[in-house]
Amino acid sequence: MSTIAGGRAARRQTMRRIRPRRNPAVPLLLAVWAGAAGVVWLWWSNTPSIEGDAGRVLNAGRITGLLAGYLMALVVLQMARVPALERRVGSDRVARWHATSGRYTLCLVLAHVFLTMWGYALQAGLGLGDVVRQTVDSVNQLPDMGKAAIGTGLLVLIGLLSAGGVRRRMSYDLWYHVHLLTYAAVFLTFWHQITTGNDFAVRPAAKTAWYALYGSVTALVLWYRILTPVRLNLRHRMRVEQVIEEAPGIVSVLIGGERLHRMGAEAGQFFRWRFLAPGMRFSSHPYSLSAAPRPDLLRITVKAIGDHSARLRELEPGTRVWAEGPYGALTAARRSRGKVLLIAGGVGITPMRALFETLPGASGDITLLYRANSTQDLALWDELSAIADERGARLMYAVNSPGGERPDISARTLRAKLPDIDRHDVFLCGPPGFARSVYEALRGAGVPARRIHHESFEM
């Protein structure tokens, strides 16, 4: 097993005044709703009267189009990996916002296309059955509509491939690269908003604001998705130092580099890792740090659950590494109480191990519960035991019985182990099903939702 020392130094880096934290998502959501209200006001102020069926349908098409255009910018913003979002809100919550915004955007786009084409058909004295013919005519005759049609087709494709049942049958790499077509779809659909949108034609200020919105989002994408990773990797020049087997199917990858402590990474965070080895250069996957960052060393610990993770054991020392990050908000900054319970399921132990080492606390303040199928699957157990002994922390595990029965992790058993659990902060990481059941048990044990901190890295 690998062992990385230096817990006291890492804890000094994470020392913070413990204080209750307000939900950082609230002001962001208020800003989003304020923007949506501005879009509705723009439509309303340019709509003095609505007459006839054609007018009603066309104006419904206008407002759905404006809202779709606004949400498209937000969808791209949520893909930009802006640190203010990633670290304050959390990568998993931003990912959920992105997925929800994408669904609403696609529905609004389809409604906009249908309603607008239907309205044009009504103006021309045609019926509902002529919408397809009207759509073809509009694509051929109106400026930038051809590009908009291609962009809409890409959005539909991305939406279909992101549906739960389809997504689960796709490889992660294929889904990830198809998802990047969102940028092309937004670019193609943007121009017809300016050239054919009546609201922007009659209000130059609105056109300027729209350009500013999309221009700002584009600048953030270029900076944080392209320029920042290039600068990070040129500066730190990371390479694989060693690959070590920790448990059956679980390996640790030690990554060396220059001035790694200046990357700003914290225990509990993750990077997107790309290993420049044959067959792996075009794959980028999120893995958490399994130890606090050191000036010359980072470590990830990964379970082989797919082609990419299974090939990590084959990495040779000296292999170049390309990383993007750090991402995630599952850090000491979320803590609001003196006592902390860390709960890990399976390979979810990786960020929990780093937090177990670095979270400040007196003897007895920190507790770690580790769920695994068997004692052989308790990766990093020797390290965890050493940390517990050094810090006076409490370390527990829950494994299946010899007959295969799962351990009882319920509100009752949690209260029996920690009678004051309702006065703890809880950090939780593990497979989705495990995380949901433990969350419900914690709520049943009296832990407020605001003190249950969880991030899912299945993105």
Residues 317-374: tens digit of each pLDDT: 999 999 998 998 889 988 888 899 999 998 899 999 999 999 988 899 999 999 999 9
What is the DSSP annotation of 337-376? SSEEEEEEEGGGHHHHHHHHHHS---TTSEEEEEE-SSGG
Asked whether residue 63 carries a pLDDT value surpassing 70, the answer given is yes
Residue with tokens 């703890």: 424
CA gap 305, 250 in Å, rounded: 9
Asked if residue 299 lies in contact with residue 291, where contact means CB atoms within 8 angstroms, the answer is yes
Contact 231, 90 (CB under 8 A): no
Strand partners, 354: none
Cα distance between residue 444 and residue 30, in whole Å: 31
Of the candidate ranges 169-173, 271-275, 314-318, 390-394, the one whose mean pLDDT is the lowest: 169-173
Q: Quick one: what percent of the chain has pLDDT higher than 70?
A: 94
Place of tokens 């930009």: 80
Higher-pLDDT residue of 22 and 28 is 28
The helix (H) or strand (E) run that includes residue 380 is none
pLDDT at position 50 is 82
Tens of pLDDT, residues 96-139: 889 899 999 999 999 999 999 999 888 888 777 778 888 898 88
CB 300 within 8 A of CB 350: yes
Q: Model confidence at 220, in pLDDT bands (50, 70, 90)?
A: very high
Q: Any idea where the domains of the chain sit in the sequence? A: 47-230, 333-454
Tokens (6 digits) for 51: 């007459």
Distance between CA atoms of residues 247 and 237, nearest Å = 29
8 A C-beta contact, residue 275 and residue 310: no
Choose between 283 and 3: higher pLDDT. 283
DSSP labels, 43-94: HHHT-S---HHHHHHHHHHHHHHHHHHHHHHHHHHTTS--HHHHHHT-HHHH
What pTM did the predictor assign?
0.82
Task: Evaluate if residue 193 carries a pLDDT over 80.
Answer: yes
**How high is the mean pLDDT of the chain?**
88
Q: Is the pLDDT of residue 86 over 50?
A: yes
Question: Per residue in 244-269, pLDDT tens?
Answer: 998 888 999 999 999 998 898 999 99
- In the prediction, which pLDDT does 24 show? 63
What is the C-alpha to C-alpha distance for residues 173 and 109, in angstroms, rounded to an integer? Answer: 27
| 333-454 topology per CATH | Rossmann fold (3.40.50)
Rounded Cα–Cα distance for residues 62 and 449 (Å): 40
What is the C-alpha separation between 284 and 6, in angstroms, rounded?
29
Asked whether residue 13 carries a pLDDT value surpassing 80, the answer given is no
Angstrom distance (rounded) from CA 332 to CA 67: 38
DSSP 405: P
What is the rounded CA–CA span in Å between residue 17 and residue 335? 9
Please give the structure tokens belonging to residue 252.
């640790």
pLDDT at 104: 95
What's the rounded Cα separation, in Å, for the pair 192 and 210?
12
Residue where the block lists tokens 């104006």: 59
234 vs 52: CA distance, rounded Å = 62
Q: What is the pLDDT of residues 383-437, one digit of tens each?
A: 999 999 999 999 999 999 888 889 999 999 999 999 999 999 999 999 888 999 9
